[in-house]
C-alpha cells in the first residue's frame, strides 16, 4: 500500500461521525490526514453536531464532540495532497461561501485526484461547479442543488447506507453509509483491493 497525503476540510458544526470516522479510519490504515478549517490553526477545534434519524421528517441535531484540527488552513497548498475528504453537517453551508475552499476543491477535480464527499458536503462541490455530468449521492435535501449544478442524482438506499462511485469521486448520503463509502474510497486510493 502506498501511503497517501489527504486533506480533510471541516468547519464548526461539521457532522460528528462524518469528520471523526473518516479521519480516524484513514489514519488507521496508514495515510496522513490534515484536518483543516478556514480561519483556524493546528491545535484549535471545531464544534461538531450529531445528526440522527429518529423518525422525524428530517434528521435531528444534538451537540457533538470538539474535533481537534491538526493543520492550519492558511498553510494548505492543494498540490501537496493526493486526495480530499469533504464531510457533511452544517459546516458546508457556510464553507461553500469561501472562495479559497472552492478553489481548493476545484484543484482536486482539475487534477483528477480522489475526492470523497458525504451528506451536505456535496453543497461545497455544487458551489465549486465540479459536479456537472457526475453521478452523485448526498443527503436527499441536497438533491436540488446538485441537479441544478448538473449532477446526475444517484438515489441513496432507503437506509442511506450505500455509496456512489463515479471515477475518482466517491459520495454517499449520510454516516450510515460509512462502511460502503469508506470501503469504496479506500479502493480508489488503492489502499484496498478492488473486487
User: Is residue 178 annotated as a catalytic residue, yes or no?
Assistant: no
What kind and span of H or E run contains 62?
Answer: strand 60-68
Catalytic pick from 37, 51, 107, 119? 119
User: Is residue 119 annotated as a catalytic residue, yes or no?
Assistant: yes
C-alpha grid cell for residue 112? 483528477
For residue 187, report the phi and psi dihedrals to the nearest 5 degrees.
Answer: -70, -45
Whether residue 51 contacts residue 174, with contact meaning beta carbons closer than 8 Å, is answered with yes
Catalytic pick from 34, 51, 107, 120? 120
Pairing, β 169-172 against β 115-118: parallel
Whole-number Å distance between alpha carbons of 87 and 48? 11
**In the chain, count of helices (H) and strands (E)?**
6, 11
Whole-number Å distance between alpha carbons of 12 and 65? 11
Whether residue 158 contacts residue 152, with contact meaning beta carbons closer than 8 Å, is answered with no
Residues classed as catalytic = 119-120
Amino acid at each position: 500500500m502506498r501511503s497517501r497525503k489527504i486533506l480533510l476540510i471541516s468547519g464548526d458544526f461539521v457532522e460528528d461521525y462524518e469528520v471523526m470516522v473518516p479521519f480516524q479510519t484513514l489514519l488507521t490504515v496508514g495515510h496522513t490526514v490534515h484536518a483543516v478549517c478556514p480561519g483556524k490553526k493546528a491545535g484549535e477545534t471545531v464544534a461538531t453536531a450529531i445528526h440522527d434519524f429518529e423518525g422525524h421528517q428530517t434528521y435531528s441535531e444534538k451537540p457533538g464532540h470538539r474535533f481537534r484540527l491538526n493543520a492550519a488552513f492558511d498553510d494548505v497548498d492543494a498540490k501537496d495532497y493526493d486526495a480530499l475528504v469533504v464531510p457533511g453537517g452544517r459546516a458546508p453551508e457556510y464553507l461553500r461561501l469561501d472562495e479559497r475552499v472552492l478553489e481548493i476543491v476545484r484543484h482536486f477535480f482539475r487534477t483528477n485526484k480522489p475526492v470523497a464527499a458525504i451528506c451536505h458536503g456535496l453543497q461545497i462541490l455544487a458551489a465549486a461547479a465540479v459536479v456537472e455530468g457526475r453521478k452523485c449521492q448526498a443527503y436527499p435535501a441536497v438533491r436540488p442543488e446538485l441537479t441544478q449544478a448538473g449532477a446526475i442524482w444517484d438515489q441513496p438506499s432507503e437506509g442511506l447506507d450505500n455509496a456512489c462511485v463515479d471515477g475518482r469521486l466517491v459520495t454517499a448520503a449520510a454516516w450510515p453509509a460509512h462502511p460502503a463509502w469508506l470501503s469504496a474510497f479506500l479502493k480508489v486510493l488503492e489502499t484496498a483491493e478492488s473486487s
